[in-house]
Amino acid sequence: MIYQEKFQRYENIKNLAGKSWEHCIAIDSLNDSNIEDCSIHCFHYQQILELYFKHILETRSKFGSYSRSHKLQKLLEEVIANTSFKTNKTKYQLALQVITVCAEEYRYNFLIDCAGYQQSVLICDELIDELLEFESKELKI
């Protein structure tokens, strides 16, 4: 998946979705590198999701705000509860939790399970597609 293409409409936009796009560039660069440790990839992937969840909460929720949480599964719950976005959250909860834990372990320089992380990315890529489609419908793009 080429993430910066998926988030193209947010290129250099000065909001949370624009920050998410910046992390997409980092991910795409890492995908083209020979780095074996996946922890830095996980950090940027977690940031893509966290910032995009918060963007949706800021722009699509009735409150226009989001929590300070970095836990992706909690942010998905907020998106579902406070916007018209609907999905099967049980499909994504474990994968979001794995990515959250891996990103926390990156911050403390622990080794992470790259195979488990990559499986979670495959699942969460589907969620990214759902979220982008939701926002496109909301914006009538």
Closest CA to 112 of 19, 46, 18, 59: 46
Tens place of pLDDT per residue across the chain (141 aa):
699 999 999 999 999 999 999 999 999 999 999 988 888 999 999 999 999 999 999 999 988 999 999 999 999 999 999 999 999 999 999 999 999 998 888 777 677 888 999 999 999 999 999 999 999 887 665
Residue 118 lies in domain: 3-139
Torsion sign (Cα): 62, 84, 79, 140:
negative
Given this model, what pLDDT does residue 1 score?
Answer: 64
Does an H or E element contain 77, and which?
A: helix 72-82
Question: Which pLDDT score, from 0 to 100, does residue 140 have?
Answer: 63
Q: Do residues 32 and 112 lie in contact, with contact meaning Cβ atoms separated by under 8 Å?
A: no
Can you give the pLDDT at residue 16?
A: 96
What spatial distance separates the first Cα and last Cα of the chain, rounded to whole Å?
Answer: 21
Alpha-carbon gap, residue 62 to 82, rounded angstroms: 6
Q: Residue 24: helix, strand or coil by DSSP?
A: helix
Total count of domains within the chain: 1
CATH number at residue 58: 1.20.120
